Structure 1
Amino acid sequence: MKTSTPDKKWFDDLVVELRLRQVDGPAIGDTVASARELLADTGQGAEDAFGPARDYAASLELPHDDRGIWRGATLWPSLAGLIAFLTFTQALVPWATAEPLLVAPAQLALLGVTVVLIALLPLYLTAAIRHPWLLGLLFVIGGAAGFLSSAVAPESVDEAWLVLAAVPWLVGSAVLMVLVSLGTTIRTLRRGSVDDITDPLQGPATGRKRSGLVLALITGWLFPLFAGLMLALATVYPR
């Protein structure tokens, strides 16, 4: 059955709503397949047959997946990786120029904005997923805070609140990023493909599952990869 554009959006919304309710992939696949079969038999549109996707998802009693991607087991390692990456970026230039790491209160406060946005993510994640503009706004705020933290970095020891050796912070943050990524890789491999929504009418999509797994593995190593690129640039083009 070919899904019309309005129905496709309705099914996309339904999948998101069920994911937000921690419903496991096979149950989502069964729900979507059953709904499509009913629409094929009746000729109705999804909105007319089931009502709003959000309300329909709330009316269903489906099994939950305790390993859901929105749970703290994933959030807190991601937060640790972010903190390590931010620390790495602050220590990189002082290391490359053989200078101490200078820290000012305003710098820490601005970096803290990004950390707090991530730490409080469970409180507003549902709203951010349902309203993509809100998620974009959060990215803009976090990026602006990171940029401004570099702009307000002290230029001399006299202006600094803390004067630290750059090498321990650079190495420590790099090690922490690698450890977090290794942990993420282990969890991903134990869980299997994050694209575990299977349609019983079409059979398992092995190619999609494999690509989803590869994407999840690559995503888990983004911080170390970016840090390695920045390290290479700082080594070749020291300021």
Structure 2
Amino acid sequence: MTTRRALLVGAPTGLLAAQAAFAPSALGAALGGTGAGSDIEILERLMVKTLDSELGDQAVARQLAGHLAEAGFRWEYPTFPLREADSVVAYSFGYRSPTGRVDPNTGLSDGAETPEPGPVNALLADAVHAIARARAVRIYAQWEIAQVLTQKHGMKDVVSIHPTKGPDGKTIYLSTDGVAKAAVAHAGSAQALGKVAVVGHRDHVKRCVIVSRDNGMSAAVARELPLPVQYDPQSAQPWTRRRDAYLLTDLVAQLSITRNRVIAELGGDHPA
């Protein structure tokens, strides 16, 4: 499992200083000495106190604080031993555009060029290859990763997941959920995948596991597998060029998943 220290490697000095300023003792004092707990637990209680003051509704304050703490402050992910894996589902992270002819809203080229996997997806492919060398698994990989697996590592039995075309002939953006659904469709069912080792960028992989499970998979990350945390400043997708930009993107995506669940509980479809 990625350690807290590893997560903070490369963090700006100001961020580390802010973390020190909100050590448990300082947070406890801010809450009037309301008891011990982890940094996140204490911070969550502070959020409840603040939101209750703002909203005048402690029950809703607790709900919102719980959602915010889970999406914004808990970045660890579930793991299992590699020896238990039956399949791999690998989610890509950005890609390169040699000509820059991409839709700025989606990062897709719509056939104006042939995109390149880029260095981060090469690292993700290396991780998949390491799993395959240690254990015989079925591999389902987003095309950027699959391309490296076939061209660099010479792997042949890889199910490559590509974007599909819409009625207008344009490429449909392949979301994390779209990759998960495609893997299940290729396998025939989520159960046919067995126990799934999810491979993804370290900052993306928590959501990859959530989405995989939402699509019926028994999914987690192989415990022994280090995941890349590098960013590509030349990625065609701006949100994957820098860590702060991506973490904000993922936080919003996690909150959107939670929002949709809440609306579904009320018997409705989530609005566009």
TM-score bucket (shorter structure): under 0.3
TM-score by structure 1 length? 0.26
Q: Which has the larger radius of gyration?
A: 1
Is the helix fraction higher in 1 or 2? 1
